[in-house]
Amino acid sequence: MAVDVKTTPVPASATLRSRRPGRIPAERLRSFAAFGAPGLLIYACFVLAPIAISFGYSLTNHNPFNPPTKFVGLENYRLLFTDSEFLTSLRVTTILTVIVVIVPNVAGLGIAVLLDRKGWLYNALRTVFFTPMVLSSVVVSIVWTRMLDDEGPVNQALRALGVDQPPGWLSDPRLALYSIATILSWQMLGFCVVVYLAGLQGVPTELAEAASIDGAGPMRRFWSVTWPLLAPALTINTVVLLISAFKAFDHIQVITHGGPGTGTTATIAYNVLQTGLVANRQGYASAMAIVMLVIIAAAAAVTLRVLNRREVNL
Amino acid sequence: MKDARAPWLRPVVALIISAFFLVPLYMILVNVFKQGEEITQSPSSLPVPPTLANITGLLSRTDNLFWASLVNSIVVTTLSIILLTVLSAMLGHYLARSRSRWARVAMLLLLAGLMIPPQVILMPVTQVLRAFGLMTTLQGLVLFNVGYYIPFGVFVFTGFLRGIPIELEEAAAIDGASRTRIFWRVVFPLLRPATASVLIFLGVWIWNDFIDPLVILGPSQGTTITTGIYRSIGQYQADFGTVFALMFLATLPVLIFYLFLQKQFVKGLTGGATKG
Amino acid sequence: MKHRALLTALAATVTLAACSVGQEQTAQTQPGAAGKKEISFLVFETPNMTPQVWDAAIKRVTDKYPDISVKKLVAPSADRVSYAKQLLASGQFPDVMIAVSPAGFAESGAMAAFTPEELKDFDFPNNGAVNGKIYQLPTNTQTIPVVYYNKDLFAKAGISAPPKTYAELLDDSAKLKAKGITPFVVGGGKDPFASSLAWTATIATDVYAKTPDWMAKRRAGTVKFTDADFVKATTKFADLAKQGYIDKKDVARDYAATEQAFLDGKGAMYPMGNWFAAAGDDPKRKPSWEIGAFNWPTDDGSTVVPAFTGGGLSVSATAKNLPEAKKFALAYTMDQANLDASVHNDGLYPAVKGYTPPADTGAVFKLGYDLYQQGVQNKTVTQAFGWESGNDGMLPGLVDKWQAAAQDLITGNKSVQEVLSSLDDEWSKAS
């Protein structure tokens, strides 16, 4: 399992231990109790235990408004994979995640390269780009709802440019999801810019100059010298983007309420809440939650594994 | 490297792209200084003349919504991020320097929790909190924040620790310093940039969190500023000026916090490798 | 051991912090004062129902009963039902709440039933019953929808009188559209109910008018969504969108903006609950043209008035001070000033015996109220589909599916047949 960050060989830590060969288990236990245990314990209480409770519910038909609760085994899971609503929400979540991971990463890199200069202008722009990140998603949602309204600035601008029938960004069932993805990407873009800028400014100028003397053009220089050194920036960006994509809930709640209609912008997280809280089918909602957690864990594992390997191979 | 051929090109392109990017921010900012009718009729016009009515109206609400929820937000966020920084730095260090199989398992479990949407586990979380008698308390909310966000802290700290040579710790160990002492005297000071990143990130996330304080604090324990914004949408839905003003004021503290830690922040995220 | 001291300090701060939680000042009258019984009261805020309005309403009751003190709780959005469920699930169920449909809460024993004696002053004491008992005071009636229209735009399209039959309605819509006027104003976005009102209307005229106990039959499984009458009602609604009488783009517009759009003359007809009167009569928002109103027409010109009575206060079965909670709920409901305020602020029709609305109500309120009174006299009042409560309503979760289905029909994303059979599916999943 090379998923975790610290599987990178850290030979020194082995040295640390081998130099103190007499280390007794009691002491190791003490250092675990002092350093590892407090954090892990709280994590276990507030994340692992709730997951275990959810898993328990997922094996029942639990409905707080319709007792008694009965054990139904894996029935909920069987139903899930024939439930078109759930399968659609899987698709929605996947599309949203892919867009939100790729777009800000790519655009962010481009803008970072553009802003990679010294001077007050670039410093100011860097701060501006970061601002959406600190805004509450509720506010971002309200503003963008107005922006994309048929009479909002976007469509007004399109009309001014001569487009007769500008698209219904949030009302067209085919477009709504992409609009939401754009909004999320907008909110995350600046963060990627800032992180890539930090990466770019860490690239030693001697390296690029050396490559330039060797006759490499700007594109080649970028791909062979700069890009590999941006690996840690790519890792952190991708992880943070994955987090925001999977957690996207407020935007959907405030902008479209899972609509327009059915099967357009309702993500798994949104469906879990609707099924559990509105339809009261908490056993079934728990099964959805567990499937979602498995998918998230798998996505996290694969991503970190791939990205870390790149970093290691630097 | 210089933009030899057209030195004006880069700033112009940068400004054009930024302008597009800025439109929504502009919409928020101008509407803070406009009144209801003006907003619905011309959401994107300049506020001429600007009015402070939205802001003053908010600050002088008789039920004290803004000030009370501001205090709550500051208390919750500050306590949460301090505890998180300390606990995740210790846990991160422990896991980064340990080679036991259990440490790997723990790391894996933590990373699995990195991306869980809070809504999905919220109801069982309230059961846990109730079992401890911590439901509807600030302590309960802070402890939940610690448990929920610790994977991210650990992720940043372990990533950063990879760039820190272990020789320093070894040297201290040879001098006979205890592990605790080594951590606080040698390691923790070196983690400063990563600490800044963790503080900023988790500070922003916890500050802007809406559903957890809503449910865990409950309706009778006051509200945080973000929950306050959401709640006031109901009342002000025909007059977003007040919502924008509330949000403008709510964002200022985090924005200042970010500007303050900006330099350290980016260094901490990209850790060792940016050193070249 | 510096860090241990730090941690201890932190722990102490955390503990202390609980005492310094910023409290909002609400209508609370000194809790714990000698002999006072405290009850919590869940409300929600809208542009009409501001914190000041709630505080004043609560104060009128606590002035009358000084032994009761009230702690006002505010739901984070107008969706107070989901919030009440969250509170129930997390052990914080309020003692008294307003406009929370009792479906589910009642069956599971979370809400306390009212006795016939307590309900003696209501016009419809059995409305919204769950298993024969009343858990929510049937305080007021709302007609959902009334069709409000823009007399100016009607005149522009050469229409002299509101339509009497459904054929005339279609005819008028065609005339409006020919003049480049959008016939119907609907909404959606974060308020999907705003997409569904015309559908509630066609269901009233084509399903409920014929089969008043349709919902009971659906619960018993003897009728289905895919039955002929329901298909007809749904097809009427879907066709309005297909003809372009409803603008597809409207499904992304939230409720507040939709109301404003009608007031700004963006469309000719606005099927909406009669609470629209609060905005239509608001001197600050009143349009320069005159607002008219009519009942959604039937095929043969007979009148049908879809209405819902309920919407009042409910009491938690586990309230610490249950007698006081009930006393508060009834006193709050019967308070003359509160009833008048509900007329003024929310355009409601109180369903309390002997109550008549104050003389100074606005013109738009009177339009809806008169249509309703005619309906009562002619006995043509039906249920309002999607708004019923208790056993008169759909199974939990179905209302949201139905509202989403309305959007599917407007956008043309799904056919009538697809939408209705999926509703039948959802029904069987929910039961």
Residue B1's pLDDT band, with cuts at 50, 70 and 90, is: very low
**C400, A168: Cβ pair inside 8 Å?**
no
Q: Is residue B18 part of a domain?
A: yes
Residues B156 and B51 in one domain: no
Can you read off the two tokens belonging to residue A201?
Answer: 């400014």
Structure tokens given for C314:
């409910």
Residue B156 domain flag: yes
Average pLDDT over residues A154-161: 91
Answer yes or no: do A35 and B96 touch at CB < 8 A. no
- Concatenate the DSSP letters of all residues of A220-240 into one string: HHIIIIIHHHTHHHHHHHHHH
- Are A121 and B14 an interchain contact pair (Cβ–Cβ within 8 Å)? yes
Q: How far apart are CA C284 and CA B41, in angstroms?
A: 15
In a domain, B68, yes or no: yes
The span from the CA of B252 to the CA of B244, in Å, is 12
Vertex A172, ends A166 and A175: CA angle to 5°?
85
Distance CA B113, CA A241 (A): 15
For residue A60, the cross-strand partners are A71
Compute the average pLDDT of residues A173-185. 95
With bands split at pLDDT 50, 70 and 90, how would you rate the model's confidence at A16? very low
List own/partner pairs for B122-127 with CB under 8 A and 24 or more apart: B122/B211, B122/B212, B122/B215, B123/A276, B123/A282, B123/C89, B123/C90, B124/A49, B124/A50, B124/A51, B124/A53, B124/A54, B124/A57, B125/A46, B125/A50, B125/B216, B126/B215, B126/B216, B126/C89, B126/C90, B126/C91, B127/A50, B127/A53
Measure CB to CB from residue C47 to each of B69, B222, B237 and give the nearest one: B237
C96-142 tens-digit pLDDT: 999 998 888 988 889 999 999 999 999 888 888 888 899 999 999 99
- If asked whether residues B48 and B71 sit together in one domain, one would say no
pLDDT at residue number A24: 54
Identify the H or E element spanning C327. Answer: helix C322-334
Chain A residues closer than 8 Å to B273 by CB: 199, 202, 229, 231-232, 311, 314
Helix axes A84-115, B9-32, angle to 10 degrees: 130
pLDDT in tens, C15-36: 444 444 444 444 444 444 557 8
Q: Render pLDDT for C395-414 as a digit per residue (tens, 0 to 9).
A: 888 999 999 999 999 999 99
Q: What pLDDT does residue C40 have?
A: 94
User: Do B24 and B90 belong to one domain?
Assistant: no
- For residues C46, C50, C51, C56, the Cα torsion angle rounded to the nearest 10 degrees is -130
Q: How does pLDDT run across B128-157, given as a tens digit for each residue?
A: 999 999 988 999 999 999 999 999 999 989
For chain C, say whether A149 makes contact (Cβ under 8 Å).
yes
Nearest to C144 by CA among C372, C354, C331, C352: C372
Residue B270 amino acid letter = T
Cβ-Cβ contacts under 8 Å, B220 against chain C: 40, 71, 73, 92
Q: Residues with Cβ < 8 Å from C138, sequence gap 6 or more?
A: C119, C122, C123, C124, C125, C126, C127, C128, C309, C310, C311, C312, C351
**Residue B203: partners with Cβ closer than 8 Å, 6 or more residues away:** B77, B81, B254, B257
Best interface-test mutation with A: which of C237, C251, C409, C423 has the largest number of A CBs within 10 A? C251
For chain B, what percentages of helix, strand and coil (3-state, to nearest 5) are there?
80, 0, 20
Q: Closest partner residue to A293 among B116, B146, B271, by Cβ?
A: B116
Model confidence at A178, pLDDT cuts 50, 70, 90, reads very high
Q: Between residues 11 and 40 of chain B, which touch chain A (CB distance below 8 Å)?
A: 11, 13-15, 17-18, 21-25, 27-28
pLDDT for the residue numbered A314? 43
Average pLDDT rounded to a whole number, residues A2-12: 40
Q: What is the pLDDT of residue A8?
A: 40
3-state secondary structure of C271: strand
pLDDT in tens, C272-330: 999 999 889 988 888 999 999 999 999 999 999 999 988 899 999 999 999 999 999 99
Q: With left for phi above 0 and alpha for psi between -120 and 50, is residue B100 left, alpha or beta?
A: beta
Interface touch C404/A274, C-beta < 8 Å: no
Residue A19 has pLDDT above 60, yes or no: no
The total domain count for chain B is 2
ipTM score for this prediction:
0.87
Distance from C-alpha of B50 to C-alpha of B47, rounded to nearest angstrom: 5
Average pLDDT for residues A46-54, to the nearest whole number?
95
Model pTM? 0.87
Check whether residue B183 and residue B203 sit in a common domain: yes
pLDDT value for C16? 44
pLDDT at A312 (0 to 100): 55
Range of the domain at B72: 63-275
> Phi-psi category of A139—alpha, beta or left, where left has phi over 0 and alpha has psi -120 to 50?
alpha
What's the CA gap between C137 and B111, in Å, rounded? Answer: 50
pLDDT band at residue A40 using 50, 70 and 90 as cut-offs: very high
Question: Does C228 touch chain B if contact means CB atoms closer than 8 Å?
Answer: no
- CA quadruple C265, C270, C272, C277: dihedral positive or negative? positive
Do B40 and B72 sit in the same domain of this protein?
A: no
Interface of C with A in 390-409 (CB under 8 A): 396-398, 400-401, 404-405, 407-408
Amino acid at B237: Q
Chain B residue numbers touching A138 (CB-CB < 8 A)? 210, 226, 229-230, 233, 247
Could you report the per-residue pLDDT of A74-104, keeping only the tens digit for each?
Answer: 999 999 999 988 999 999 999 999 999 999 9
**Nearest-angstrom CA–CA distance, A288 and A97:** 18
Band the pLDDT of B251: cuts 50, 70, 90. confident
Q: Which residues of B touch A40 (CB under 8 A)?
A: 91, 106
> Is A161 part of a structural domain of the chain?
yes
pLDDT value at residue C170: 97
pLDDT value at residue B30: 85
Please, what is the average pLDDT of chain C?
88
Same domain, B108 and B229: yes
User: Chain C window 38-97: which residues touch B at a Cβ cutoff of 8 Å?
Assistant: 40, 42, 44-47, 49-52, 55, 71, 73-78, 86-87, 89-92, 94
- Residue C418, pLDDT > 60, answer yes
**pLDDT value of position C6:** 47
CB contact under 8 A, C10 and B180: no
Mean pLDDT along residues C337-350: 89
On the question of pLDDT at C9 being above 70, the answer is: no
- Does A124 have pLDDT greater than 60? yes
Q: Which residues of A226-239 are buried (b: 16+ CB within 10 A; e: fewer)?
A: beebbbbbbbbbbb
CA distances from B115 to A100, A244, C410 (A): 14, 8, 36
Of B82, B180, B233, the CB nearest to C10: B82
Contact A280 C104 (CB under 8 A): yes
Residue A50 forms contact with C (CB below 8 Å): no
In this complex, which chains have at least 3 CB pairs below 8 Å with chain C? A, B
Q: What angle do CA C192, C197, C201 make, to 5 degrees?
A: 155
Residues 146-185 of B with CB under 8 A from A: 146-148, 150-152, 154-156, 158-159, 161-162, 165-167, 169-170, 173-174, 179-180, 183
Chain C residues closer than 8 Å to A281 by CB: 397, 429-430
Cβ B144 vs Cβ B125: under 8 Å: yes
Give pLDDT, residue B276.
29
Per the CB < 8 Å rule, is C257 touching A256? no
Q: Report the residue from A150, A169, A173 with minimal CB separation from C413.
A: A173
Domain ranges of chain C: 27-142+310-362, 143-308+366-430
Summarised one tens digit per residue, pLDDT across range B178-206 is 888 888 888 899 888 889 888 988 998 99
pLDDT at A90: 93
Res. C1: pLDDT tops 60 = no
Report the C-alpha gap between A154 and A144 in whole angstroms.
10
For range A231-247, the mean pLDDT? 89
A43 contacts on B by Cβ (under 8 Å): 109-110, 113, 147, 150-151
Domain residues for A209?
75-312
- Of A161-175, B230-244, C203-217, the one with minimum mean pLDDT is B230-244
What does the pLDDT average to over A147-160?
89
Residues of B in contact with A293 (CB under 8 A): 112, 116, 120
**Does residue A79 lie within any of the structural domains?**
yes
Helix runs in chain A, H state only:
11-18, 25-31, 37-43, 49-58, 75-80, 84-115, 120-134, 137-148, 153-160, 176-201, 205-213, 218-221, 227-229, 231-247, 250-255, 268-273, 282-312
B49 and B68, same structural domain?
no
Which overall architecture, per CATH, does domain C27-142+310-362 show? 3-Layer(aba) Sandwich (3.40)
Interface test with B, best of C2, C15, C23 (most B CBs within 10 A): C23
Nearest CB to C250 within list A169, A171, A176 = A171
Written as one letter, the residue type at B78 is T
Average pLDDT score, chain A? 84
B88 and B17 inside one domain:
no
Q: C45 and B184 in contact by Cβ < 8 A?
A: no
pLDDT digits (tens, 9 = 90+) for A250-293: 899 889 999 898 889 999 989 998 888 888 889 999 999 999 99
Mutate to test the interface with A, among C77, C80, C249 (most CBs of A within 10 A): C249
Omega before A167 within 30 of 0, i.e. cis: no
Q: Is residue A24 part of a domain?
A: no
Q: Which among B88, B99, B208 has CB closest to A13? A: B99
Q: Is the pLDDT at A17 greater than 70, yes or no?
A: no
Higher-confidence residue: C82 or B147? B147
Enumerate residues 6+ apart whose C-beta is below 8 A from A106: none
Least confident of A8-12, B214-218, C155-159, C362-366: A8-12
pLDDT in tens, B5-48: 677 888 888 888 888 888 888 888 888 887 766 776 676 777 77
Inside any domain, residue B191: yes
Question: Which of C251, C396, C430 minimises the CB distance to A260?
Answer: C251
Residue A23 has pLDDT above 90, yes or no: no
Structural domains in chain A (count)? 1
Tell me the CATH number of domain C143-308+366-430, given options 3.20.20.210, 3.40.190.10, 3.40.50.300, 1.10.620.20. 3.40.190.10
Residue B2 in any domain: the answer is: no
Mean pLDDT confidence for A110-123: 87
Band of residue B273 on the pLDDT scale cut at 50, 70, 90: very low
Q: CATH number of the domain that A88 lies in?
A: 1.10.3720.10
Lowest-pLDDT choice from A24-38, A229-243, C47-61 = A24-38
